[in-house]
Each structure stands twice: as structure tokens, then as C-alpha cells.
Amino acid sequence: MRIAVTGVTGQVGWELVRSLQPLGEVVALDSRALDLADPARVRAVLREVAPQVIVNPAAYTAVDKAESETGKARAINAAAPAAMAGYCVDAGALLVHYSTDYVFDGSRDGRYREDDPTAPANAYGLTKLEGEQAIRTSGCAHLILRTSWVYSLRGGNFLRTMVRLAAARDHLKIVADQYGVPTPASFIADVTAQLIARRQASAALKDWSGVLNLTPAGRTSWFEYASRGLALLHRATQAGTEGRLPATSSASPGPEWQVPRMPSLEAIPASAYPTPARRPANSCLDLSRIENVWGMSMPSWDGLLATVLRDA
């Protein structure tokens, strides 16, 4: 099986190249090989590569910039997936595409199910929803995986920003009234590989197409997430500096992940930190479908955070 992976220099794409290797031949497509802003070129490149599966983590993810660069965001987040879906219809291929919790406005209590009404609160969420809609209406075989608060040890993300700020400041103000689930890129990639494998192996799932929520279990705020991550890295940094390491650690964090001193943290409301794009207050996604239909149990977000940071 030949699998084309887009956005391979990004957080999820880089991990997918690793996790998909056991399933077949992985063709890694970076932005030089596949210009997502040119839908015609997307179709041409895919015809040349001729994959049986396309896995598309590439996206325009600059949430605030999307408010003023909506055309660029739409080209990458909606028109490019539509072109991929068109190829999949012609070739009988499977499209695995990633979407976001930001297709919801975050105004409801509880967790969002896959079939709940969407109502994006910003341009980024709107363009990602348009990508979902283009894939579904194409009629191609597809898995649309909605996730949230993606992070990894490489690339830019909230946790890495917090570590950088902790090195420069004694006091950090962090939003505490927006809730979601931090999701490691490595976890997304590993679950993706399992989904593809199960779809191939199961008679009940081989023709399944639709949307799946994909995050760890649990719920947290940006404030709690930053507090937990910085504390873990601070303890590991101290242990390395003092020549002692926790039993669960193999090494002190690398220089870019070290937190030699713990700053004081202040919980603030989102209203005290205005941004061009409005963020949903509640980004929590319901996991019933992936657990009950696909038979996959999701681990806790904080357990995964500790696991990821042991390799920092």
C-alpha cells in the first residue's frame, strides 16, 4: 500500500512518517513537493504519486492571521482537501484528513459529538469546516479526524511558548476559562495508523467513512495545562542539574525545554487577553464514537503529557 503524507515538516506530519511505515510505502510530501495553495497542482502531484491512501495533516493553522488572510487559509484548508478528495474519487483511494475543535463555537456545556451542529467562531475554524464539507460532499472514502490543542517536542505550540516565556519572565498570566484537551502529535499519528489498519482488517469498518473525534480523555484549561507541563519540566531540570533523575526519566530535558526556575503563574479570564480571533470557551470533544465503534480506549491527557515530556 502506498501512503502519501502531506505537511511532513509539521508536528503531526513528521510523526506520521514514522507511525505509518509498518503499513506500507510512505511518500513524504513537503511544501516544495506539494503546493497546497494550487489545487490543480495538488491533483497533478497525486496522480504522479498514485497513493492508495492520502493522509493530510497539512493546514493553515495561524488562527489569528487567518482573520486577515482568509483567502490563503481557505485555499489550504478547504480547496486543497477538495482537490485531494477529487483524486480519491477517481482513484478509489482513502483520504484521512485532520480537522479541529474550532468548528464549534464553544458555547455549550459538556462535550461536542461529531454530529452536533457546527458554528465556527473564527476564520480558521470556518475554513477547516469548509474542508470537511468538501470532502464529505465529494463522496470519497474518508476519515475526518477532529482534534485539539496539538503539541509536540518540535515545531511551534502553546507548551513550547510557555517554556520560552518561563525562561524570560518571573510571572506569567495564563487564560484559565477556556477548556479543552491537549493532544500530542505522536498520539495522533499512532492512532491514525491503528485506524487505517483496523479499517483494512475489519469487514464492519472497511467501508466506514465519516468524522471521528480524536483527543485523549479528560479536560483541562490553558492555565492547568501550562502549570502541569512547566512543573514537570522544572522538576526534571532540577534533577538533571543536581545529578539526580526521577526513576521515570532517562535524561535531563534538552536546553530548549529546560525550566531552571519556576515562574509564578496567574490565572486570568480570556477577556483580559484579547486576540484577533475568538477562541471557543469549551473545546472538549466526545470520544464515544472512536471508543465504541472503533474499539479504541483513549488515555488521559495528563498521563500522555508526562510521557511526552520525559523525552524532552
Domains of the chain: 2-147+184-215+286-298 (3.40.50.720)
pLDDT, mean of residues 96-117: 97
Q: Among all chains, which residue has been given the C-alpha cell 510505502? A: 25
Q: Establish whether 225 is a catalytic residue.
A: no
**Model confidence at 219: pLDDT above 70:** yes
Which segment of 8-12, 39-43, 222-226, 251-255 scores lowest on mean pLDDT?
251-255
Rounded Cα gap, residues 151 and 157, in angstroms: 6
For residue 228, the model assigns a pLDDT of 98
pLDDT at 113 over 60: yes
| pLDDT at 250 exceeding the cut of 60 | no
Instruction: Tell me which of 60, 87, 124, 225 is the catalytic residue.
Output: 124
At 263-276, the pLDDT tens digits run 999 999 999 999 99
pLDDT in tens, 164-173: 999 999 999 9
Rounded average pLDDT over 204-219? 97
Which of 74, 94, 87, 92 minimizes the C-alpha distance to 44? 87
Mean pLDDT of 203-223: 97
| Average of per-residue pLDDT values in the chain | 95
Cβ–Cβ < 8 Å for 98, 57: yes
